Amino acid sequence: MQKNIILAGVGGQGILSIAAVIDWAALQEGLEIRQAEVHGMSQRGGAVQSHLRIADHELYADLIAFGTADLILSVEPLEALRYLPYLAPDGHVATALEPFVNIPDYPPMEGILAELARIGAPVLVPAAEIAREAGSARASNMVMLGAGAPFTGIAPDKLEAGIEALFGAKGREVVDSNIRAFRRGLELSTN
Amino acid sequence: MNRQLLLGAEAVAQGALDAGISGVYAYPGTPSTEITEYIQRSKAARAGGVRSSWSANEKTAYEAALGMSYAGKRSLVCMKHVGLNVAADAFINSAITGVNGGLVLAVADDPSMHSSQNEQDSRAYGRFAMVPVLEPASQQELYDTMFHAFALSEEVRLPVIVRMTTRLSHSRAGVEQRSPRPQNALKAEYAPERFVLMPHNARVQYRHLLDLQPKLEELSESSFLNRPAGGSGPIGVIAFGIGYNYAMEARAAHGIECRVLKIGQYPLPRRMVEELFAACSEVLVVEEGYPVYEELFRGYFGSPKVRGRMDGTLPRAGELTTDLLASALGVGLPETPAIPGIVANRPPELCKGCGHRDMFDAITVAIREHADHHVFSDIGCYTLGALPPYSAIHTCVDMGAAITMAKGAADAGLRPAVCVIGDSTFTHSGMTGLLDAVNDRSPVTVVIADNDTTAMTGGQQSSATGPKLVDICIGLGVDRAHIRHFVPLRKNLDEAVAILREEFAFEGVSVVIAQRDCIEKAAKEKRRAAAKGQ
């Protein structure tokens, strides 16, 4: 088993929390993990990505090769497109639909949707709306984790345990709303 | 099996703690910052009295680490690659004095310049100083290497470099820990013949360093960081540091037939390298950084066997990838989807609500009143003021250069000569430049952007902010009447512009402090306070 996952978003959107949950679950499963992330200048509102690799055998590279990502999981629609060269021919794309507009030349949403449609069957998620319904506007990244979960190679209950571990210190309510968000994303992806 | 998920930088930190350091000295710099932050958070470090607060700059950090080593204890000093330029005087000369307690310099290079102004390769510094350099390829190897590095440092009585690059420092993996080793006892010995580098001593010590080189090479032959990694056929790959990872990944993914020699300790293990070259008709040299060793293998007159960055087999600049390695080894890569044309770049920007934004608005208004509007600046979040919509600063070269470049331009006749520097960069290496300007009565206006933290690297403690900054400027001889203040907020724009206007017109040294706390820092403190309240 080997999964290459690109996590994408804009600095400050919380992709590292998604990575942390998958990492935690993978570590519990005894899997090998490499998860490269962006620190420093780009974190200030710039495009950020994390290369996450998990396998049941030794991994060497921290970076994913072009054309080998099993999943591009993005919390922002334009950012989903930025990493398409990494997508494997049978890879999946799951992205949140809410644009994060902080550049003057942000393309029109119709153009982004048209490009996403060319990929095949992207999982398009109104993540912010679902997160609010689940009880926490800040949990849209966990909605996206749920939407991407079927392609991570890790069972949903293991990922939920990861959410417990990651958010446990913040209290029961935070854990519950994040798990609700995760489940709603998962439902949307599997139905 | 007890594995902990650690960044490469954190593996260095945990390894150093478990190897029994008594202190870490550092100035923040991407991608090295997380080493020291990890030690600052560590309960075990606190319990063991491991000192870990930030130094004013890399040179002061290195010298303090050398002093701790002199006193017999193990010390770690951390910096980014360009920080080693600042610490170079201390570093190079510490190879001549040698060390007592183990002294390890963990330096993080940034090929592809993700957060840096160049991609210089610290291994060149290791060669220059003639000290061992260790370059692990994985997070586990980084951890294990720290034990080895301190033991080696004490065995050969030299500082040892542990070099890593961005991808390893900022990537997580499971790391298994060993049982920790106790700290060394205090043991400061008089050894002026080693530590007083007057020429008569230095000549002897330098001779000693030269004589040590064959031993260092011999130690590399038996290092766990150097080993053949199998393979067959006439093609060889000599893979340094994390170059090894990409070579192995490409070999496995594409079924490439080639021999691989992994290198992680320098000076090179000569016999291993000779064996590879003897067995192969072509050798690809894979270095994550400059072609330091490729150039040596080629020699001045070239070698037909050597492939690498210098003949275009691999790109001359930038970090390596599995794809680059596969191509270099003759694999044709399949077509992959292109990035759609509509995907616009999304560069970093100053945070919404950041005081630097209001400061740049004020500077822009005031300086546009002059025909020449050059603004010298420096390294920090405010460097983002170089990008639109501000385009408000016009230089960023090295830490502290804002003040001294403005001074030189003022000496040349440029008016006004304006510079912008952050609080942390000012104490790092701006203060000495300000003293030059004062002594020379150079007409410069130094705007200190005081946000009470070292923001760009994530909000570390700054050496001097607020009233302490004022005291420093007065102490350096700046006239109190020309140390001015404003709070960079939209409502204060007119006041800020008026102050800047007056000081731009002044034919002497002035300092204008734009003081408002970093909003990220304020938010973090609020979250922390809320968490404590629960």
Q: Which of B328, B344, B367 is the last residue of a domain?
A: B328
Between chain A and chain B, how many beta carbons pairs sit less than 8 Å apart?
A: 146
Mean pLDDT, all residues of chain B? 96
- Residue B470 in this model has a pLDDT that exceeds 90: yes
The answer on B216 and B305 residing in a single domain is: no
Q: Which helix (H) or strand (E) holds B6?
A: strand B3-7
Residue A185 distance to chain B (closest CA, Å): 26
Sign of CA dihedral B361, B362, B363, B368: positive
Quote the percentage of chain A above a pLDDT of 90.
90
Q: Which of residues 286-325 of B touch A (CB under 8 A)?
A: 321-323
Nearest CA in chain B to A79: B343
Q: Which residue of B has its CA nearest to A51?
A: B171
| DSSP string computed for A51-119 | EEEEESS----SSPPTT-EEEEEESSHHHHHHTGGGEEEEEEEEEE------STTPPPHHHHHHHHHTT
Percent of chain B residues past pLDDT 90, beyond the cut: 94
Interface of B with A in 38-67 (CB under 8 A): none
Question: What's the sign of the alpha-carbon dihedral A18, A20, A26, A31?
Answer: positive
Q: Are residues B241 and B313 in the same domain?
A: yes
Say if B340 falls within a structural domain.
Answer: no
> Could you count the other beta carbons within 10 Å of the beta carbon of residue B391?
12
The pTM assigned to this predicted structure is: 0.96
Q: What is the pLDDT of residue B1?
A: 52
Residue B333 lies in a domain: no
- Residue A42: the pLDDT is 66
Contacting B residues, span 171-190, partner chain A, CB-CB under 8 Å: 171-174
Bridge partner residues of B417 (DSSP): B444
The secondary structure of B235-248, three-state, reads EEEEEECCHHHHHH
Q: Cβ atoms within 10 A of the Cβ of A15, count?
A: 28
Nearest to A62 among B30, B167, B252 (CB): B167
Mean pLDDT of B182-209: 97
On whether both B406 and B281 belong to a single domain, the answer is no
Q: Over the stretch A7-66, which tens digit does the pLDDT of each residue have?
A: 999 988 889 999 999 999 999 999 999 999 988 776 778 899 999 999 999 999 999 999
The nearest CA of chain A is from the CA of B521 a distance in Å of 13
- Shared domain for B216 and B252, answered yes or no, is no
Tokens found for residue B304: 């037909």
Same domain, B112 and B206: yes
- Which residues of chain A from 60 to 99 reach within 8 Å of chain B, CB to CB? 60-63, 65-68, 78-79, 81-82, 84-87
Distance from the A55 Cα atom to the nearest Cα atom in chain B, whole angstroms: 12
Q: How far is CA A146 from the centre of its chain?
A: 9
- The enclosing H or E element of A48 equals strand A47-55
Across residues B394-405, what is the average pLDDT? 98
- Asked whether B18 and B178 are in contact (CB, 8 A), the reply is yes
* Nearest CB neighbour to A62, from listed B168, B338, B346: B168
Tokens of B526: 């609020």
Q: What is the mean pLDDT of residues A123-148?
A: 95
Question: Token pair of B324, please?
Answer: 């680059």
Res B471: pLDDT: 98
CATH homologous superfamily of A2-126+144-154 equals Pyruvate-ferredoxin oxidoreductase, PFOR, domain III (3.40.920.10)
CB of B333 within 8 Å of a chain A CB? The answer is yes
Q: Are residues B233 and B198 in the same domain?
A: no
Residue B334, in any domain of the structure:
no
Tens-digit pLDDT profile for residues B32-72: 999 999 999 999 999 999 999 999 999 999 999 999 999 99
Q: Check pLDDT > 90 for residue A162.
A: yes
Cβ contact (<8 Å) for B246 and A61?
A: yes
- The rounded distance, in Å, linking the Cα atoms of B218 and B104 is 20
By the CB < 8 Å criterion, does B11 face chain A? Answer: no
Disruptive mutation site among B140, B170, B171, B248 for chain A (greatest number of A CBs within 10 Å):
B171
Judge: B171–A35 Cβ closer than 8 Å, yes or no: yes
**Å between A84 CA and nearest CA of chain B:** 6
> How far apart are the CA of B524 and the nearest CA of chain A, in angstroms?
13
pLDDT tens per residue, range B497-524: 999 999 999 999 999 999 999 998 888 8
d(CA B121, nearest CA chain A) in Å? 19
Same domain, B270 and B197: no
| Residue in A46, A63, A81 closest to B348 by CB | A46
Locate tokens 């999946």: which residue?
Answer: A92
Q: Which of B167, B188, B221 is the last residue of a domain?
A: B221
Q: Please report which residue ranges of B130-175 form alpha helices under DSSP H.
A: 139-156, 166-169
Higher-confidence position of B520 and B291 = B291
Same domain, B208 and B271: no
Nearest alpha-carbon partner for B463 in B188, B56, B118: B56
Mean pLDDT of B426-450: 98
CATH number at residue B213: 3.40.50.970
Chain B contact for A109, CB < 8 A?
no
Same domain assignment for residues B272 and B383: no
In this structure, is residue B528 part of a structural domain? no
Beta carbons within 8 Å of A62's beta carbon, 6+ residues apart: A34, A35, A36, A51, A53, B167, B168, B171, B242, B245
Q: Hey, are the CB atoms on A44 and B244 less than 8 Å from each other?
A: no
Convert the pLDDT of each residue in B226-269 to its tens digit.
999 999 999 999 999 999 999 999 999 999 999 999 999 999 99
Both B241 and B376 in a single domain?
Answer: no
Phi first, then psi: what are they for B164, rounded to 5°?
-135, 170
Residue B225: pLDDT above 50?
yes
Question: Which residues of chain B are within 8 Å of residue A111 when distances are taken between CB atoms?
Answer: 342
Q: Which of B33, B245, B348 sits opposite A11 (nearest CB)?
A: B348
Contact flag B249-A41 (C-beta cutoff 8 Å) = no
pLDDT of the residue at B534: 47
Q: Determine the pLDDT at residue A166.
A: 94
State how far residue A141 is from chain B, nearest Cα, in angstroms. 19
- Please tell me if residue B381 touches chain A, with a CB cutoff of 8 Å: yes
B515 interfaces chain A, CB cutoff of 8 Å: no
Confirm if A8 and A80 have CB atoms less than 8 A apart: yes
Contacts of A46 in chain B (CB under 8 A): 346-349
> Which of these ranges, A51-55, A83-87, A116-120, B494-498, has the smallest mean pLDDT?
A116-120
Helix (H) or strand (E) holding A9: strand A2-10
For the four alpha carbons of B52, B55, B60 and B62, in that order, the dihedral sign comes to: positive
- A29 close to B (CB below 8 A): no
Mutate to test the interface with B, among A34, A60, A78 (most CBs of B within 10 A): A60
Q: Are residues B384 and B446 in the same domain?
A: yes
Report the Cα–Cα distance between both ends of chain B, in Å, rounded.
35
Residue B392 has pLDDT above 50, yes or no: yes
pLDDT > 50? residue B79: yes
Asked whether residue B132 is domain-assigned, the answer is yes
Chain A residues inside the 8 Å CB shell of B333: 66-67
Query: Could you tell me if B182 and B69 lie in one domain?
Result: yes
Q: Contact at 8 Å (CB) between B147 and B15? A: yes
Q: What's the total number of domains in chain B?
A: 3
Spatial distance between the Cα atoms of B161 and B111, rounded to a whole number of angstroms = 18
Residue B280 clears pLDDT 60, i.e. is over it:
yes
C-beta of residue A6 within 8 angstroms of C-beta of residue A72: yes
The whole domain housing B214 covers 3-221
CA distance, residue A150 to nearest chain B CA (Å)? 23
A120 has a chain B CB within 8 A of its CB: no
| Segment B366-390, tens digit of pLDDT | 999 999 899 999 999 999 999 999 9
Contacts of B190 (CB under 8 A, 6+ apart): none
Looking at chain B, the whole-number percentage of residues with pLDDT higher than 70 is 99
- Amino acid (1-letter code) at residue B263: I
Q: Which residue of chain B comes nearest to A63, CA vs CA? A: B321
Q: At B251, which CATH number?
A: 3.40.50.920
Which is nearest to B105 in space by CA: B81, B127, B121?
B81
Q: With contacts defined as CB-CB under 8 Å, which chain B residues touch A34? A: 171-173
Q: How would you list the strands of the sheet with B160-165, edge to edge?
A: B21-26, B74-80, B103-109, B160-165, B133-134, B265-266
Whether B343 contacts chain A with CB within 8 A: yes
Residue among B115, B323, B337 minimizing CB distance to A41: B115
> What is the distance of C-alpha B227 from the center of its chain?
28
Inter-chain touch A66–B333, beta carbons under 8 Å: yes
Of B30, B246, B340, the CB nearest to A39: B30
Across the range B120-145, mean pLDDT stands at: 98
Residue-level pLDDT at B525: 86
* B532 part of contact set with chain A, CB < 8 Å: no
